[in-house]
Amino acid sequence: MKKTLSLICLLLIAFSCTDSDSVNTESEIIPDRNVYVAGYITDASGNSTACYWLNGKRVDLGPGQLEDIVVSDGKVYAVGWTFGASASYWIDNESFDLEGSGAEAYSIAVHDGDVYTAGRDDGACYWKNTTKNKLSGGDSSGYGIAIKDNGDVFIGGYYMNNHHYIIPARWKNGNRTNLSRPSGGDGEVQDVKIYNGTPYFFGMSMAPNSMLGYLPKASYWQGNSRNDMPNGGGWQKGIYGGESYGGFVDGTGVYVAGKIDWIGEVDEDGNDIPETGGTYAHYWHNGTKVDLLGGVFNDMWVSTAYDVAATDGYVIVAGDVATANQTQVPAIWVNDALTKLEGDNTHGVAKAIFIE
């Protein structure tokens, strides 16, 4: 399952949060640009619908959940999967099933008219069009995929080695290479981008800590060089750990989207203070943490960020927020201002962004 290393405890101190209205689908999110946000919504019976929002207006594709979206030559390409069933990609509204039994697909890229998707089917794999290509690694998964102009295929993910470490890994044209991780720690890649011919891998790393066991941090790798994002202080100041799910690179630098978990506070008598601690969405720009406010405290969780994109002075982050009525509403932040893609009674998640 995705988020292999997300079994870390949800700890941590609450921001003051503000809410906002749902997006106005009559207006553009960015002037003269189309903003596509992929994700899913879930009904009261737990059935999920794969969908994307174009400038805030939802387009439903079918059962399951979308994980990624791109636009190429005027066509919309999206990829997703249905739990325990199959993985698919869509070109506009037409679906194509990927080879495999119980496959899960998480990312998509288009190159020279061919569709590439990455995921897992009894281990890491990628598909060219609908044909599966197995990747080495045993207990493993591919999460991100990107194609260089020369056709080189880069995939990021993880595999478990014989010593039961989770190793962050990259595959180039099917050949696996380990990415750096803290000594004695774990790591995994969730997203891949290519900028000026250099692949960037986004994910997390976990370093052993004498007090906490492991201290997780959002990380990205430029080539094989790892950069760990600041959690905002040390654990001594109330911050437990962070994680990254997506990233973006352009001429202004490297953007990393994810979350930080905060340790709850206690009063003078040692009692927990209600509505402190929990998970909060953030992004990092060139290593500087940006807080994304919004959502309400709900069972140790407030918000999560899954992807980020930037253009024309705008930074858009996709994720979800808690509300008074639901624990998970799909949302975006535009230059740090929260906008819900659906009303407070709609359960769902926004997983990926593409700006056309």
* pLDDT digit string, tens, across residues 287-345: 999 989 887 766 667 899 999 999 999 999 999 999 888 779 999 999 989 999 999 99
**Cut 0.85: pTM above it:** yes
Query: Where are the chain's structural domains?
Result: 35-355
Picking from 5-19, 77-91, 264-278, 284-298, which range would have the lowest pLDDT averaged per residue? 5-19
Q: Does residue 22 carry a pLDDT above 60? A: no
Higher-confidence residue of 130 and 300: namely 130
What's the residue count for the chain?
A: 356
According to the CATH classification, is domain 35-355 in 2.130.10? yes
Distance CA 155, CA 201 (A): 9
Q: Looking at residue 85, what DSSP letter applies? A: S
112: left (phi over 0), alpha (psi -120 to 50) or beta: left
Which H, E and C letters describe 213-267, residue by residue? EEEEEEEEEECCEEEECCCCCCHHHCEEEEEEEEEEEECCEEEEEEEEEECCCEC
Residues 303, 327 contacting (CB under 8 angstroms): no
Q: Does residue 237 carry a pLDDT above 60? A: no
For residue 234, what are the contacts with CB-CB under 8 A and spacing of at least 6? none
* pLDDT digit string, tens, across residues 188-200: 999 999 999 999 9
Average pLDDT of every residue of the chain: 87
